[in-house]
């Protein structure tokens, strides 16, 4: 384990960032988003925008905090460290499959 990873694992800032990401994912679930919808959202809610901006700001601040403590890390290393953690949150908060069309169930009116 790299020194910056140990620091981040114990960081309150990381915990706050992950809580914010979880809230964002839960909001996506509530409004019925699919993973594909995240590429080009069909709608933007005020809560979504608030959480998205807070997440981005907190992520940049956490990266800067790690650098300020003297750890030798670049943005790519930071995001590479974060990705498996965020993926785990994605797994526990699955979004809809994105198939909004009614399937042919043989129950059409004649």
Cβ contacts of residue 28 below 8 Å, gap of 6+? 37, 38, 48, 93, 95
Q: What is the pLDDT of residue 98?
A: 59
pLDDT band for position 110 (50/70/90)? Answer: very low
Higher pLDDT, 110 or 46: 46
Please determine, for residue 107, whether its predicted confidence score (pLDDT) is greater than 90: no
pLDDT in tens, 9-66: 999 999 999 999 999 999 999 999 999 999 999 999 999 999 999 999 999 999 999 9
Q: What is the 3-state secondary structure (H, E, C) of the chain?
A: CCHHHHHHHCCHHHHHHHHHHHHHHHHHHHCCCECHHHCCCCCCCHHHHHHHHHHHHHHHHHHHHHHHCCCCCCHHHHHHHHHHHHHHHHHHCCCECCCCCCCCCCCCCC
Give the closest residue to 2 by CA, choosing from 74, 51, 52.
74
What tokens does 99 get?
A: 């198939």
Q: What is the pLDDT of residue 27?
A: 97
């Amino acid at each position: 384990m790299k020194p910056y990873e140990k620091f981040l694992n114990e960081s309150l800032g990381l915990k706050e960032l992950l809580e914010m990401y979880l809230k964002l994912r839960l909001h996506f679930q509530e409004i019925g988003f699919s993973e594909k919808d995240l590429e080009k959202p069909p709608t933007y809610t005020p809560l979504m925008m608030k959480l998205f901006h807070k997440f981005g700001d907190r992520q940049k601040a956490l990266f800067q905090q790690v650098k300020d403590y003297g750890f030798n890390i670049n943005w790519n290393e930071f995001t590479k460290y974060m990705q498996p953690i965020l993926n785990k949150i994605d797994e526990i908060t699955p979004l809809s499959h994105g198939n909004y069309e009614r399937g042919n169930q043989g129950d059409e009116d004649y």
